[in-house]
Structure 1
Amino acid sequence: MSAFVRAARFVGDLDDEFYADELQRDAWNEASAVGFQSLLWIGLVSAAILPYVAGVTGAWIAIGIIVALLTVAYVVIGYARARGIDMYTVQELRRPRLMVGLVLYFLSFGGAGIRLLIHYGGGSFGPVLFGAAIGAPLGLVAGAVGIKRRRRRRHDAELAAEKAELQGFEETD
């Protein structure tokens, strides 16, 4: 067991005897998922609004909220992956719910970035255009690499499933 999984088990108190009962564990896992998703959506909506209604202070708070949410999301994804579940290969990511989330991320970071650039940059949009000229191609490349990696993971998972199925079929003969 890796140090990450041991730390996650400690943080989640997963060795408590409470988890010995399957029904309790399942209900708690579902409740935790609902709580995590609620926190995620509340944070995204708050971070999307703050730069516009609370100025520079709201922009900094929005960035903090988004960084915290992304950290927690990556811990969840990392723990699941460490336990053999890759969410990028077992679920469809092109869903309206995820698109709404992406729009909220864009509003949060976009609003915070513009608010902070206007405040600290003296209102000049030259740096914004320069940043967009560099950031947009880098973002596109990162997105393309991410899509390629996701497709490769999905393909590898399908191959592994086929291999396991064939082994199971051969064992029954």
Structure 2
Amino acid sequence: MSTFTAVMQYIGDLDDEFYDDERQRDVWNEASAIGFQLFVWTLLIAGSVLPWVAGVTGSWITLGVLAVFFTVSSMVLMYAKARGLDMYTSQSLARPRIYLCTGVYLIAAFGAMITLASEYLSAGGTAVFVGMAIGACVGVGCGVHGLVRKRRLGREAEAAAEATELQELTKEQI
């Protein structure tokens, strides 16, 4: 077991005897999934509202909220991957829920950037926006990398399935 998996299992308290009962485990997993989704949507909605309600302070908080959202979501995906489940190959990303989540995320990000731009560009400070531009480039690069990786993993999974099927057919003929 990798250090990452061990740490995530410790954080999740997965060695508790509570998980020995299958029904309790299933109900708890469903409740945890609902709680995670509630956490995600609360962060996104708060991040979308804060720049407009609380101004510059709300914009900085929104950037922190978006960083927490990204970090927690990444940890969930990384743990699933470490346990042998790649969410990018096992589900379609072209779903209305994904589009809505991405839209709310972008509303929060652009709301924060617009509010911060109006505050700091009028004062002549451009360092924040240089950082934002670099971050946007890194984000786009990561997105492109993710799409390319998803396609590659899909092709590899398809090739492995075909190879397995071919082996089974060969065994049947012998």
| TM-score bracket relative to the smaller structure | 0.7 to 0.9
Q: Are the aligned partners of 1:117 and 1:123 in contact in 2 as well (CA < 8 Å)? A: no
Give unmatched runs, 5+ long, in structure 1.
none
Q: Distance in 1 between matches of 2:20 and 2:68?
A: 31
Q: Distance in 2 between matches of 1:76 and 1:8?
A: 9
The alignment status of 1:145 with 2:145, answered yes or no, reads: yes
Identity fraction in percent: 47
Residue 78 of structure 1 is matched in structure 2 by: 78
Letter in 1 for 2:71: T
1:149 to partner: Cα distance: 1.2
Deviations 1:112-150 (A, max 9, x none): 1111122122167x9999889877776555433322111
Residue 13 of structure 1 is matched in structure 2 by: 13
Q: Distance in 2 between matches of 1:131 and 1:11?
A: 33
The DSSP-based 3-state class of the residue aligned with 1:92 is: coil
Pairs within 5 Å for 1:81-96: 81-96=81-96
Aligned pair count reads 173
TM-score by length of 2: 0.85
Q: Distance in 1 between matches of 2:164 and 2:31?
A: 33
Alpha carbon RMSD of aligned pairs, Å?
2.7
Letter in 2 for 1:68: V
Q: Distance in 1 between matches of 2:168 and 2:59?
A: 55
Pairs within 5 Å for 1:1-173: 1-122=1-122, 140-167=140-167
Q: Which runs of structure 1 show a deviation greater than 6 angstroms over 4 or more consecutive aligned residues?
A: 126-138
Letter in 2 for 1:159: A
Q: Distance in 2 between matches of 1:131 and 1:13?
A: 38
Letter in 2 for 1:87: M
1:158 to partner: Cα distance: 2.1
Q: Are the aligned partners of 1:18 and 1:25 in contact in 2 as well (CA < 8 Å)? A: yes
Pick closer, same or farther for the CA change 1:144–1:71 going to 2, 3 Å: closer
TM-score by length of 1: 0.86
